[in-house]
Amino acid sequence: CAIPDGYKAPRRGTLAREVESREMKRREQEAARFEVEKFYTQQKAFDNAAGNPLKEDIARKQREAKERNKEGDMLQGLYEADRTRELALIRAEEEEKIATALARRMHDKDRAELEVQHLRGQSHELRELTDKIKQARVAKERSLQV
């Protein structure tokens, strides 16, 4: 085996030491990577166990907002039902007043008619005038027929 000039033959075991040195560096890098992965795995576990406070706050606030909206809708429904009931009572009262007023008017009208009939029946002059009006109408109809 010919060795070129200026090149020294490697010492015995140098190659083995170099391989061992590389293997040692690889093991150290692998150990460091393992530690980093272990840290992130533990961190994820801690985060999951502790929960994300920001996410919890957001979820809590959303839940509270939904509850407030439901309460608001329920109150709105109650207010509307109460208002409808009040309006129905007012309407019933007004209808009752109108019915009473109409009944009073009808009674007054009937009483006035009865009074007029009574006066007509009692007054001798009105009876005579009524008879004369009837005779005049009959006479006019006869003259129209001829």
What's the pLDDT tens digit per position in 95-111? 999 999 999 999 999 99
**C-beta atoms surrounding 126 within 10 Å:** 13
**C-beta atoms surrounding 51 within 10 Å:** 10
Mean pLDDT calculated for residue range 74-102: 96
pLDDT of residue 2: 57
CA distance 122 to 116: 10
In the chain, the percentage of residues whose pLDDT exceeds 70 is 89
What Å distances lie between residue 123 and 17, 45, 115, 131, CA to CA? 154, 115, 12, 12
Task: For the full predicted model, state whether its pTM sits above 0.75.
Answer: no
- Structure confidence at residue 17 as a pLDDT band (50, 70, 90): confident
121 CB-near residues (< 8 Å, 6+ apart): 127
- Structure confidence at residue 10 as a pLDDT band (50, 70, 90): low
φ, ψ dihedrals at 23, nearest 5°: -60, -40
User: Over 80: is that where the pLDDT of 87 sits?
Assistant: yes
**More confident site: 116 or 101:** 101
Range name among 30-44, 65-79, 99-113 with the lowest pLDDT average: 30-44
Range name among 24-28, 36-40, 68-72, 120-124 with the lowest pLDDT average: 120-124
DSSP states of 42-97: HHHHHHHHH--HHHHHHHHHHHHHHHHHHHHHHHHHHHHHHHHHHHHHHHHHHHHH
pLDDT of residue 65: 96
Return mean pLDDT, the chain.
Answer: 87
